Structure 1
Amino acid sequence: MTETTTAPVTAPAPDAGDSPASDPGSAPAGAMARSAGPKSTGPKAAGRPRLAALDALRFVAALGVLVYHYVAVNHQAWGAETAESFPDAQPVAAFGSFGVQLFFVISGFVILMSAWGRGVRSFTASRVGRLFPAYWLSIVAVLLLLLVVAPGTKDVGLSETAANVTMAQRAFGMQDLEPVYWTLWTELRFYVLIGVLLAVGMTRNRLIAFATLWPLAAVVAARSDHELAATVLVGTDAPLFAGGMMLFLLVRERRAVAPWLVLAGNVVLACAVSGRSQSLRIATSTGVTVDPQAYWPAIAACFALVALIALTPVNRLSWRWLTVAGALTYPLYLLHSSWGEWLIERLYPHLPMVVTFAVVTLTMLGAAYLVHRFVERPLGPRLRRAVERDLDRIVRALTPRRDGVTSDQSAEVEPAASR
């Protein structure tokens, strides 16, 4: 999951995720995508609401993940194991990890909002323009840390770096340069599934069927150890995205029964399987045990918070600072981990623990603002337009000749004829 919040934001981001209106390339409210690709056959989008509070929720989720990495994950940045440095705070900070699940629910909501009424090419270009500028900058930042500032901290090879540039390094069996990148791989697979749904034709009934059957198939694949199927179907995190999608549909059809039933099913499935998966991740990284009676409410709260913003008068909040917070979410999520730990190592011997935490957090927020202001805002729209233009050219080049005229010639002749 970063600009303003009108409709279509993790990773990543995490985050993520995306922001309801952080997509500079979103189609106007109610407008169908101009792309020549497959169009949604569902009803036109009725003006996309401005959900500034959802941006603030994304920011809270990012801060939760930051606290988790600084205070809960076991590392030596504080001069000893985190469990020794924060014996009382660590079990509480471990719940910040559920910010990732909150990102996924939000992503299901806003990505469907972004895709609604769009073609495949427009949707693809918007995602590339949204995710990659800050992501590539974060790769440069972590390489600067690992190769120049603190060489020897971690071995980084050329092939590993090249794979990370694609954001699909896990598909090549390569490690993430930053630990937070795993969520971006999850988001990326979700985007592909949405692209397939757009190509087939996104109707209301197909959407409901998809949100019903896809999470079930994903969970069965994950539980049956069918690794390829589980990877393609996003595994145990699928119910989080599907539930978020139903929340978006409920904004449009508040009294419809089917979306409520599908949402309820996905909430239960997410609590059972996504909660358990996250509890295992927490145990591996922190040694903290999160029991079902704790992770069930944590996952349910993720859905409840998004529902509160989407389905109640809270969605009318439009304070500017909410969208500013949302703009910082994605770069903060990308940058905070490795550089944050390095800064803690350097500052903590000289500053009190609380002051160190505050200084490092503020430094990361400042860096996030700079990335948003000087990387995302200028480069994101340009990259989106370039990708959409190139995709249009590829499609035209692959389009068969009609009446002895190529698609390129037809594209050149039509404007002249219209004049």
Structure 2
Amino acid sequence: MSENHDRMRVNEIDLLRFIAVIMVILFHYGFRAYAADDYIKMDYTLIAPIARYGRFGVELFFIISGFVILMTADRGGFGTFVVSRASRLYPAFWVCCTITFLVKLFFGGDRFPTSIIQYLKNMTMFGNRLNSSSVDGVYWSLYYEINFYIIISLILLAGKIHRINRILWFWLFLTPIVNYFKWDILRENLVTQYSVYFIAGASYFLIWKHGISLERCIMIVLCWAYALMLLEPEVAFFNIHYHTDTNIWVTKALVTSYFVAMMFIVLRKTGSFGQLRWVFLGGLTYPAYLLHQHVGYIIINRLYPMLNMHVVFWGMVFFMLLVSFVIHQFIEKPSSRWMKHSLTRLSERVASLWFASKKRLAGTLSQ
């Protein structure tokens, strides 16, 4: 497979990202906020029976991350990967975290408290490791994502990315063991609650790049089977917490559809549909995910019941997508380019100084 072909954008991934974020937004506005924790006063029963399944859109995000992050790692070394991820994640996160903090500070009241210390810790994207609660509830998934990035970074740093297949097998082997014995440190650092989705996504990338093989298919099937097992206690807890009756088989079918869709994509079986460019929708995904929850709840509480609930609900969905477009187009894209350029120059400078110091040390020792 040619280098140019490897570097093609996978158009369908952008569409899947957008579908996942819409699922999550509908879940938060149409079910989660009213069902538990007293976040909003508006009970939008029209879509609640469907919207509750949007909680499991996050699993689709994790599969996509497994695919995209391994693709990124495959294109360069440790420094390139770190620069790519930092410039991709931080600009939009800083903007959305700041907006959320300010909205909560001035309009959140007792229901949505915040503090400057919480905000500053969250701005590092390592708030959980700094013993801080999140400025917004959606950040929980970012912590799993970042741990996955750290795993890939360490593999790159060790120069073992060419052994990624063996590493994925070892990770998959450890996952049920760590979960069974509840080794908390390993569960956190190896993200074993959701690792099968990252592993599956990475395996899909290997199929996309190198072609299908029995070994890769077996790995994906094992990931899928264990994912369905993990859904059972998760759905049981979900039903208790939200006082609902989410159907486990519908949830399993939904997650299964993610695995099937990804297989069609990596085998390039989407036909002319795969030629369509969804980059615009994909660009909305990250800021929309980061910004919509607590800011949306606060605005909904301000507007309802003063306005009709249908107007409030769908207006808020549209408003969040519009704001996300503005952030992506006019802040995230230029900031990411500038940050990537600056970090690349910095990393090159650091590398140059490192090699120069090693050369001087070698010369000194040889005298």
CA 376–277 in structure 1, closer or farther in 2 if over 3 Å, else same: farther
Equivalent position amino acid for 2:58 in 1: V
Q: Are 1:52 and 2:14 matched, yes or no?
A: no
* 1:71 CA drift (Å): 1.1
Number of residues paired by the alignment? 358
Equivalent position amino acid for 1:168 in 2: F
Equivalent position amino acid for 1:344 in 2: I
5+ long unaligned stretches in structure 1: 1-28, 31-44, 408-419
User: Is the contact between residue 51 and residue 318 of structure 1 (CA under 8 Å) also seen in structure 2?
Assistant: no
Q: Are 1:200 and 2:158 matched, yes or no?
A: yes
Alignment-derived partner of residue 213 in structure 1: 170
User: Is the contact between residue 221 and residue 230 of structure 1 (CA under 8 Å) also seen in structure 2?
Assistant: yes
1:167 to 106, 120, 125: 125
* 1:232 CA drift (Å): 0.7
CA 100–283 in structure 1, closer or farther in 2 if over 3 Å, else same: same
* 1:259 CA drift (Å): 1.0
User: Is the contact between residue 23 and residue 57 of structure 2 (CA under 8 Å) also seen in structure 1?
Assistant: yes
Equivalent position amino acid for 1:93 in 2: A
Alignment-derived partner of residue 292 in structure 2: 336
* 1:119 CA drift (Å): 0.4
Deviations 1:341-400 (A, max 9, x none): 122222232332222211111110110001001111110011122223333334444447
Q: Are 1:230 and 2:187 matched, yes or no?
A: yes
3-state SS of 2:194 partner: helix
3-state SS of 2:23 partner: helix
Q: Are 1:70 and 2:29 matched, yes or no?
A: yes
CA 97–402 in structure 1, closer or farther in 2 if over 3 Å, else same: closer
User: Is the contact between residue 309 and residue 315 of structure 1 (CA under 8 Å) also seen in structure 2?
Assistant: no
Partners in 2 of 1:141 and 1:255 — Cα distance? 44
Higher helix proportion: 2
Partners in 1 of 2:271 and 2:142 — Cα distance? 27
3-state SS of 1:401 partner: helix
CA 341–233 in structure 1, closer or farther in 2 if over 3 Å, else same: same
TM-score normalised by the chain length of structure 1 = 0.79
Equivalent position amino acid for 1:227 in 2: D
Q: Are 1:268 and 2:234 matched, yes or no?
A: no
Q: Are 1:347 and 2:347 matched, yes or no?
A: no
| Superposition map of 1:304-323 within 5 A | 304-314=260-270, 317-320=274-277, 322-323=278-279
TM-score normalised by the chain length of structure 2 = 0.89
Between 1:304-313 and 1:233-242, the stretch displaced more is 304-313
* 1:281 CA drift (Å): 5.9
CA 404–247 in structure 1, closer or farther in 2 if over 3 Å, else same: closer
1:188 to 146, 168, 174: 146
1:254 to 211, 228, 232: 211
Partners in 1 of 2:347 and 2:304 — Cα distance? 50
CA 162–219 in structure 1, closer or farther in 2 if over 3 Å, else same: farther
Equivalent position amino acid for 1:212 in 2: W
Alignment-derived partner of residue 391 in structure 1: 347
Deviations 1:32-79 (A, max 9, x none): xxxxxxxxxxxxx85323322220111011000000001111435653
Equivalent position amino acid for 1:248 in 2: F
Equivalent position amino acid for 1:389 in 2: R
User: Is the contact between residue 138 and residue 335 of structure 1 (CA under 8 Å) also seen in structure 2?
Assistant: yes
| Superposition map of 1:276-291 within 5 A | 276=232, 278-279=234-235, 282-283=238-239, 286-291=242-247
Partners in 2 of 1:327 and 1:61 — Cα distance? 13
Partners in 1 of 2:219 and 2:22 — Cα distance? 30
3-state SS of 2:134 partner: coil
User: Is the contact between residue 328 and residue 365 of structure 1 (CA under 8 Å) also seen in structure 2?
Assistant: yes
User: Is the contact between residue 121 and residue 127 of structure 2 (CA under 8 Å) also seen in structure 1?
Assistant: yes
Deviations 1:233-262 (A, max 9, x none): 012100000001111111123342211111
Partners in 1 of 2:150 and 2:39 — Cα distance? 37
Partners in 2 of 1:236 and 1:180 — Cα distance? 17
2:104 to 141, 146, 159: 146
Alignment-derived partner of residue 120 in structure 1: 78
* 1:226 CA drift (Å): 1.1
User: Is the contact between residue 74 and residue 161 of structure 2 (CA under 8 Å) also seen in structure 1?
Assistant: no
* 1:180 CA drift (Å): 0.4
Equivalent position amino acid for 2:73 in 1: A
* 1:197 CA drift (Å): 1.6
Partners in 2 of 1:247 and 1:263 — Cα distance? 8
Computed over aligned residues only, the root mean square deviation of the Cα atoms, in angstroms, reads 2.4
* 1:105 CA drift (Å): 0.5
Partners in 2 of 1:229 and 1:78 — Cα distance? 36
Partners in 1 of 2:99 and 2:252 — Cα distance? 36
Partners in 2 of 1:247 and 1:325 — Cα distance? 22
Alignment-derived partner of residue 57 in structure 2: 99
The percentage of counterpart residues that share the same residue type is: 26
Between 1:126-135 and 1:164-173, the stretch displaced more is 164-173
3-state SS of 2:193 partner: helix
Between 1:103-112 and 1:295-304, the stretch displaced more is 295-304
